[in-house]
Amino acid sequence: MTTPTKRTTMGLWMLQGLLTLLFLSAGVGKFVMTAEEMAGPVAFPLWFLRFIGGAEVVGGLGLVLPAATGIKPDLTRLAALGLTVVMIGATATTLMGEPKSLAALPFVVLCLVAYVAYARR
């Protein structure tokens, strides 16, 4: 295993920061929107959508806080792995609707968060 360069480390931190903003906004949105506003190709119950929103908020914070504070930095990888599972579900759910091309966005986020999990091993 090679030692990451300063440039690689900074790029990973920037990626984690951007993903944190993305997941925080998506998660908080699931708490402020009504069930009708969150309607998608699959009719999930409101409690489930709120649960996913909570997972996104906690996971988003977990992408930066453990490593940034130095308290249990291994939790960053676990947060990324958890968000990978969330994004697998988001991609699959989006593929159930039309147009299928909308699944590209959650798939790209899935790949990015999986990369963070891999890079923070």
Q: What is the pLDDT of residues 57-113, one digit of tens each?
A: 999 999 999 989 999 999 999 999 999 999 999 999 999 999 999 999 999 999 999
Q: Is residue 19 included in any domain, yes or no?
A: yes
Per-residue model confidence (pLDDT) at position 1: 60
Domain that holds residue 54: 6-119
Q: Please indicate, yes or no, if residue 21 is contained in any of the structural domains.
A: yes
Q: Rounded to an integer, what distance in angstroms lies between the CA atom of residue 109 and that of residue 56?
A: 13
User: How many Cα atoms within 13 Å fall on the side-chain side of residue 121?
Assistant: 9
| Rounded-to-integer distance, Cα 116 and Cα 63, Å | 8
57, 100 in Cβ contact below 8 A? no
DSSP track, 37-68: TT--SS---HHHHHHHHHHHHHHHHHHHHHHH
Q: How many residues does the chain have?
A: 121
Q: What is the pTM of this model?
A: 0.93
Give the pLDDT confidence score for residue 121 in this predicted structure: 87
Q: pLDDT band for position 40 (50/70/90)?
A: confident
DSSP letter assigned to residue 5: P
What is the number of domains present in the chain? 1
Residue 99 inside a domain? The answer is yes
Give φ, ψ of 70 to 5 degrees.
80, 5
Per the domain annotation, does 1 fall within a domain? Answer: no
